Amino acid sequence: MYKPIAYEITETINFTEEVKLFRIKSKINPMPGQFIEVSIPGIGECPLASCAYNTDYIDLLTRNAGNVTSAVFKLQKGEKIFFRGPYGKGFPIKELKGKDLILIAGGTGIAPVASLIEYIEKNRKDFGRMYIFFGFRNENYILLKDKIEKWKNKFDFTLTLDKKLVPESNLVCETGFIQDIIDKKKIDFKNSSALICGPEIMMKCVSEKLMSLGLKKNRIYWSMERRMECGFGSCGRCQIQDLYVCKDGPVFRYDIIKPKIDNEESANEVKT
């Protein structure tokens, strides 16, 4: 589907000054890890992943970080928003069945992981143990608090903050970077797969930590949104070597995407 269609916004939720959730009435239900292209006529498009797995609505966790998202931020309940899709290859559900899962996300990168969690909730018998790590800058940046409270009661859930602003508060969390907290769980990696979304530097650090603990590269998956624009591999902006993030991803196995990123970075260093 290449033509944007108008959908009604049924609810908006402000999380921070920079992040807002838009609930949109739609029967389209992207698979966890897929994305849609949200558009504002006359301004442009941007890729966003739903943080819900639901046949009645799509939840767009949106950071005000550019021309399109700035325009989206001005929309109110009852107004129309345009999008097309879904696009891309999401999380490898078939390969994950029967596995213990380590789900790791930071900031608005929790969106595709949240939709995967909701998928797993609906198909719980298909998966093994669940370890979830969500990281945020501090208490003021925690997103999807209601869902987090629910998931804490259902899964092995760890909330991490880079820094706790109020040390004496009753908030149950770990302080520090996710990669420094993971090994506290003493996870058995023999039948585990890890799925990660967030800033690339965070994903790299976490992946290196997981491998040092015994998880193989081909059991680690990255969800990326690097420079995606058209959504189907035509414009080439998201190309990393011979791969397109929008078409071949945005979910990649780490052993496949890492050498592509390394080669790209090496080539850029030579140019400079």
pLDDT of residue 1: 61
**Angle at which helices 110-122 and 145-152 cross, to 10°:** 40
Question: Which of the pair, 183 or 154, is modelled with greater confidence?
Answer: 154
Tell me which amino acid residue 17 is.
E
pTM of the model: 0.94
The answer to whether 33 and 90 are in contact (CB under 8 A) is yes
DSSP string computed for 35-76: EEEEEETTTEEEEE-BS---SSEEEEEEE--SHHHHHHHT--
Domains of the chain (ranges plus CATH)? 5-87 (2.40.30.10), 93-223 (3.40.50.80)
Phi (first) and psi of residue 100, to 5 degrees: -80, 135
pLDDT of residue 233: 85
Residue 247 has pLDDT above 90, yes or no: yes
Which residues lie below 8 Å from residue 8, measured CB to CB, with a gap of 6+?
A: 24, 25, 78, 79, 80
Average pLDDT over residues 26-54: 95
Structure confidence by residue, pLDDT tens digits, 84-101: 999 999 999 999 999 999
Residue 18 has pLDDT above 90, yes or no: yes
Residue 272 has pLDDT above 70, yes or no: no
Question: Which of the pair, 186 or 113, is modelled with greater confidence?
Answer: 113
3-state secondary structure of 204: helix
Confidence at 168, pLDDT banded by 50, 70, 90: confident
